Amino acid sequence: MWIRLRLDIGWRDLCYGFFGSIAPDKRETTQQQLESFWSEQRYDTLACLSVRSGFDLLLQALALPEGSEVLFSAVTIRDMPQIAEAHGLVPVPVDVCGSDYHIDMASLQQAVTTKSRILVVAHLFGARPDMQEVLDFAHEHNLFVVEDCAQAWCEPHWRGNEQADASLFSFGTIKTATALGGALCRVKDLKFLTRMRDIQSQEPVSPARKLALHCFKITFLKIISTRILFGVIVNFGKQFGNSVDDILGGMTRGFSGDSLLLQLRKQPNIGTLRLLKRRLETYDSQRIARRIKHAQLIIAKLGLENLQPELLYSQHSFWLFPYITDRPEALIKFLKEHGFDTTQRGRMEIVSPPSDRPELSSPTATELLSRTVFLPCYPEMTDATINRMCKLIIDFTAKSS
């Protein structure tokens, strides 16, 4: 059960996306309809190509002085601090703690300086920790708060924390309610949102053929995710010393590492906008309910109530299930031998501290990420399958002890 193959999109939506990519171009009208639907008549939303595109637009709109600091919760995807650096800004990590990877307040107090202008908080793996203390601190220090909700969206009416200055939502390939791309950015201050909209309107539109090609790739991935064909792919990779991630990972990656800003600075095409609107209007919330139910079963079976209490007292939709273990590589190998495909890290990285502030090295985040294994808890799994996986983990832990 390879994590990236559990794509949250059906055959009908894939067909809709393909034919939408060749539909007559009423892109501006479709974008307005999508943004109005999402913002519930508040008109505080901009549809973008991706969360990274939205973040780039936001930094352009803010136009901060060169050398200003952007505080990032320490675990995020590499592109986010790279975008800040491309704007002449200085990324500064803020350590995180707990299995929900929430901001460590002592680290935040240590990280902030008179040059700090923005705080970017990534809600990871489906967790939505309580933000009130962080928001209060940010407002005291005049920090512009950005929520990266790419992994946390879980229900049609949730639009992020209303006290945050901006909340960014992704509907990329492996996200919940995927539209195979696209993002929605809620921005509180209308003047910044207007600047972002004006800047984006000058950018080229992403080619429609790109969405059509992506639909074909995802169709292929869904076909080979059947047990027999997937087994063939795994065995083929073993013959050449490659993992499933090596063989198929690139097919779900949104952007390559080259010319990042050039790739980001495009408007979403009409096919992406239409598909995203359809996905939001028709999304089955029961899928998320089943995912949460499976996660709660894992917590109960593995006795994690005391070991990882944040999984219970944080709002959590379990985009991935973060299980903390002292032997992550050995556990991953053991579970794969029994038919459960698990992974570590994915595209998550630790933000490096500025060269003149090595004390901000985020030791807790580094240890957490190195010990975290992501367990499958997809809606398609049965309780019996979850129970079997948990028994294997219990057996592995007992033997390790």
Over the stretch 104-146, which tens digit does the pLDDT of each residue have?
Answer: 999 999 999 999 999 999 999 999 999 999 999 999 999 999 9
Output the CA torsion 148→153→159→162 (10° steps).
Answer: -50
**For 187, phi and psi rounded to 5 degrees?**
-125, 125
Per-residue pLDDT, 223: 67
- Measure the CA–CA gap between 45 and 40, rounded to whole angstroms: 10
Model confidence pLDDT, tens digit, residues 347-377: 899 999 999 999 999 999 999 999 999 998 8
Query: How would residue 300 be classed by pLDDT, with cut points 50, 70 and 90?
Result: very high
Does the domain spanning 285-400 belong to CATH 3.90.1150.10?
Answer: yes
CA angle 40, 46, 48 (to 5 degrees): 130
Task: From residue 142, give the alpha-carbon distance in Å to each of 28, 113, 117, 129, 132.
Answer: 35, 11, 7, 21, 15
Structure tokens at 280: 């939001």
Find the largest Cα–Cα distance for the chain: 63
Per-residue pLDDT, 20: 61
How many helices (H) and strands (E) would you count in the chain? 17, 15
Section 154-165 average pLDDT: 89
- Measure the CA–CA gap between 224 and 342, rounded to whole angstroms: 18
Q: Is 392 exposed, middle or buried (0-12, 13-18, 19+ CB in 10 A)?
A: middle
Q: Of 162, 161, 160, which is closest to residue 184 (Cα–Cα)? A: 160
Pairing of strands 372-375, 116-122: unpaired
Which residues make up the CATH 3.90.1150.10 domain(s) of the chain? 285-400
Per-residue pLDDT, 124: 95
Query: How would residue 217 be classed by pLDDT, with cut points 50, 70 and 90?
Result: confident
Which residues make up the CATH 3.40.640.10 domain(s) of the chain? 3-201
Task: Kindly report the CATH class assigned to 3-201.
Answer: alpha beta
Model confidence pLDDT, tens digit, residues 182-210: 999 999 999 999 999 999 999 999 987 77
Q: Which residue has better confidence, 13 or 175?
A: 175
Per-residue pLDDT, 16: 63
Q: Say how many Å lie between the first and final Cα of the chain, rounded.
A: 27
Per-residue pLDDT, 154: 85
Per-residue pLDDT, 100: 94
Model confidence pLDDT, tens digit, residues 68-78: 999 999 999 99
Model confidence pLDDT, tens digit, residues 374-394: 998 888 889 999 999 999 999
Model confidence pLDDT, tens digit, residues 30-54: 999 999 988 865 689 999 999 999 9
Q: Looking at this protein, which amino acid is placed at residue 363?
A: P
Per-residue pLDDT, 183: 97
Residues with Cβ within 8 Å of residue 14, at least 6 apart in sequence: 215, 218, 219, 222
Rg over alpha carbons for the chain, rounded to the nearest Å, is: 21
Per-residue pLDDT, 94: 98
For residue 179, pLDDT beyond 50: yes
Per-residue pLDDT, 253: 56
Q: Is the CB of residue 252 less than 8 Å from the CB of residue 4?
A: yes
Q: 18-22, 92-96, 288-292, 305-309 — which is least confidently predicted?
A: 18-22
Q: 160-174, 232-246, 307-321 — which is least confidently predicted?
A: 232-246
Section 57-81 average pLDDT: 97
For residue 231, pLDDT beyond 80: no
For residue 281, pLDDT beyond 70: yes
